[in-house]
């Protein structure tokens, strides 16, 4: 059956595609942008982290905006803001200004990401929703591939032109016909706009932002020995805990903690966060490793990312065709096994582990993502009760972005801190400074990927449990009905 969707749904797809494209293009082009803005790598990672912090914060405000605007009107506003902030990113020439406009871009990108799920739920027939989710998921898989390829294909002096391309992708969002919002929608859920609800939500967002910001500056400010870091961590944890408590007391919370009452929905959200680590975090950490250890050129990084892109694009139509041939949880379990094996390989790297060795790793990553993203998106639609389905769609995107933010800020901070510790511990061996620096970073990356492999294999085991649980439940129903 041919899929026919409203123009607003296609425009929402492109808006979300532009947001994901922008994040991954900038992450992979860190070295080029550092040269363009005459900035250090930590300064450029700040631009990525603040994008994610803003995206996380504004993504959860969707329920507030929908009290005042229809989804179509919100798509107009978010698309216009994202387009203008992208043009501003093209125009600025100072690193501080670039960080600021990246925050604005992330804020509007955070509004764009959940809108496809909302519009699919409200404007697409039930029998076509599965196909629509599949089409959108295919775009979310493609965006992290095309973004780096476009960014890395540009020379340093033209790198800012990629923001013109990003703005062009979001342009259809401005031409969606906006439906008037009925007055009954504003008064139907007054609890969502109560002062305690808003206060708790603001505290929660502020807490997440402070923690990510503290992680971003952890190494630059000498870790917990610095009073500013300690103050940021304490304030971030305090605001987060206070926000969670406030939200738990609301009948219709903006950040719906009721999803964590159900084992399956809580597990899907945790898996979404890990998917964010793989999609966003690794796309930043792989170039970061190649630059810090091997002084890799943008052309070399382009080659490594291209090797992951080609098989992923070729295999995507095949995976879409066979997605219904196998149980979803069996595919998810296999995906986490493949990604866990990839992480194990990365946890045993040596100094001679260079760009050529990363080609196999990238192939495992692309295979694991193809096995993971489509089935997990399908399960997300039914992992929570019907009354929580809207919150599930928003928080599914939220946790994926949260995983990316904490992986870029947190893992980078851990690697830099751990590498410095190894460097100081091994100075007695009399190694040349250059070799010792590379070796210290290799050890730090090994540790980080070792811990990541534990989480990935744990998710593989959980997915296997849900597979056998659902299979057993289905068999029990069949026996009872016969």
pLDDT of residue 427: 65
For the cut 70, the answer to whether the pLDDT of residue 196 exceeds it is no
Range from 239-248, 295-304, 337-346 that averages highest in pLDDT: 337-346
Between the CA of residue 198 and those of 21, 74, 77, 254, 261, what are the distances in Å?
Answer: 31, 19, 21, 8, 22
For the cut 80, the answer to whether the pLDDT of residue 45 exceeds it is no
CATH number among 3.40.50.720, 3.30.70.100, 1.10.10.10, 1.20.1250.20, domain 262-482: 1.20.1250.20
Between the CA of residue 266 and those of 80, 250, 262, 314, 465, what are the distances in Å?
Answer: 34, 19, 6, 32, 14
Confidence label for 182 from pLDDT (cuts 50, 70 and 90): very low
Report the C-alpha gap between 175 and 80 in whole angstroms: 10
Contacts of 475 (CB under 8 A, 6+ apart): none
Residue with the larger pLDDT of the pair 41 and 340? 340
Confidence label for 189 from pLDDT (cuts 50, 70 and 90): very low
Q: What is the pLDDT of residues 417-438, one digit of tens each?
A: 888 887 777 665 555 555 777 8
Given a contact cutoff of 8 angstroms between Cβ atoms, the answer to whether 73 and 43 are in contact is no
* Residue whose C-alpha is closest to residue 470's, from 334, 381, 388, 379: 379
Contacts of 168 (CB under 8 A, 6+ apart): none
For the cut 50, the answer to whether the pLDDT of residue 177 exceeds it is yes
pLDDT of residue 234: 92
Report the C-alpha gap between 329 and 470 in whole angstroms: 9
Q: Give the CA-trace dihedral at 208, 212, 218, 221, to 10 degrees.
A: -80
- Write down the pTM of the prediction: 0.74
Using a pLDDT cut of 70, give the percent of the chain over it.
88
Mean pLDDT within 380-403 = 77
Considering the domain 7-177 in this protein, what is its CATH number?
1.20.1250.20
Mean pLDDT within 269-298 = 81
Mean pLDDT within 163-189 = 70
Mean pLDDT within 172-195 = 57
Q: What is the pLDDT of residues 101-115, one digit of tens each?
A: 999 999 999 899 888
Domain residue ranges of the chain, discontinuous segments joined by +? 7-177, 195-249, 262-482
pLDDT of residue 170: 92
Helix (H, G, I), strand (E, B) or coil at 60: coil
Q: Do domains 7-177 and 262-482 have the same CATH topology?
A: yes
pLDDT of residue 416: 83
Query: How many residues in total does the chain contain?
Result: 482
Report the C-alpha gap between 105 and 55 in whole angstroms: 8
Q: What is the pLDDT of residues 71-104, one digit of tens each?
A: 899 999 999 999 999 999 999 988 888 989 999 9
Mean pLDDT within 114-138 = 80
* Residue whose C-alpha is closest to residue 301's, from 38, 23, 25, 49: 25
Helix (H, G, I), strand (E, B) or coil at 383: coil
| Average pLDDT of the chain to the nearest whole number | 80
Report the C-alpha gap between 397 and 121 in whole angstroms: 15
What DSSP assignment string belongs to 193-239?
GSHHHHHHHHHHHHHHHHHHHHHHTTTTTTGGGSHHHHHHHHHHHHH
């Amino acid at each position: 059956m041919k899929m026919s969707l409203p123009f607003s749904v296609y425009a929402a797809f492109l808006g979300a595609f532009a947001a994901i494209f922008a994040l991954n293009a900038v992450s992979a082009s860190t070295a080029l942008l550092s040269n363009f803005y005459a900035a250090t790598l930590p300064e450029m990672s700040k631009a990525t982290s603040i994008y994610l912090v803003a995206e996380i914060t504004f993504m959860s405000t969707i329920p507030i905006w929908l009290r005042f605007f229809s989804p179509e009107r919100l798509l107009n506003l978010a698309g216009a803001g994202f387009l203008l902030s992208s043009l501003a990113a093209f125009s600025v020439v100072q690193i501080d200004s670039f960080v600021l406009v990246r925050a604005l871009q992330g804020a509007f990108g955070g509004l764009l990401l959940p809108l496809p799920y909302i519009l699919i739920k409200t404007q697409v027939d039930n029998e076509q929703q599965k196909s629509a989710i599949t089409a959108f998921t295919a775009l979310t898989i493609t965006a992290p591939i095309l973004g780096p390829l476009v960014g890395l294909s540009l020379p340093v002096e033209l790198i800012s032109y990629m923001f013109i391309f990003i703005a062009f992708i979001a342009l259809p969002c401005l031409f969606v016909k906006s439906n008037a919002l009925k007055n009954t929608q504003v008064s139907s859920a007054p609890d969502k706009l109560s002062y305690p609800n808003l206060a708790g939500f603001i505290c929660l967002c502020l807490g997440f932002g402070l923690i990510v910001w503290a992680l971003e500056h952890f190494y630059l400010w000498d870790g917990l020995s610095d009073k500013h870091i300690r103050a940021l961590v304490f304030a971030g944890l305090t605001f987060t805990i206070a926000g969670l408590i406030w939200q738990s007391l609301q009948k219709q919370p903006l950040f719906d903690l009721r999803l964590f009452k159900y084992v399956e929905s809580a597990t899907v959200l945790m898996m979404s966060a890990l998917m964010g680590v793989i999609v966003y975090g690794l796309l930043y950490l792989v170039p970061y490793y190649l630059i810090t250890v091997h002084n890799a050129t943008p052309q070399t990084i382009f080659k490594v990312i291209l090797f992951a892109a080609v098989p992923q694009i070729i295999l995507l139509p095949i995976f879409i065709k066979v997605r219904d041939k196998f149980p979803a949880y069996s595919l998810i379990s296999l995906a986490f096994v493949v990604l866990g094996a990839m992480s194990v390989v990365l946890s045993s790297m040596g100094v001679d582990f260079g760009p050529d060795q990363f080609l196999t790793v990238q192939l495992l990553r692309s295979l694991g993502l193809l096995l993971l993203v489509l089935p997990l998106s399908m399960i997300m639609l039914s992992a929570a009760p019907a009354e929580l389905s809207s919150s599930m769609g928003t928080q599914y995107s939220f946790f994926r972005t949260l995983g990316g933010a904490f992986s870029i800020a947190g893992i980078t901070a851990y690697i830099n801190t751990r590498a410095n510790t190894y460097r100081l511990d091994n100075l007695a061996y009399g190694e040349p400074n250059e070799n010792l620096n590379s070796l210290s970073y290799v050890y730090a990356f090994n540790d980080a990927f070792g811990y990541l492999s534990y989480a990935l294999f744990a998710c593989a085991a959980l997915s296997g449990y849900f597979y056998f649980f659902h299979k057993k439940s289905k068999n029990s129903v069949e026996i009872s009905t016969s």
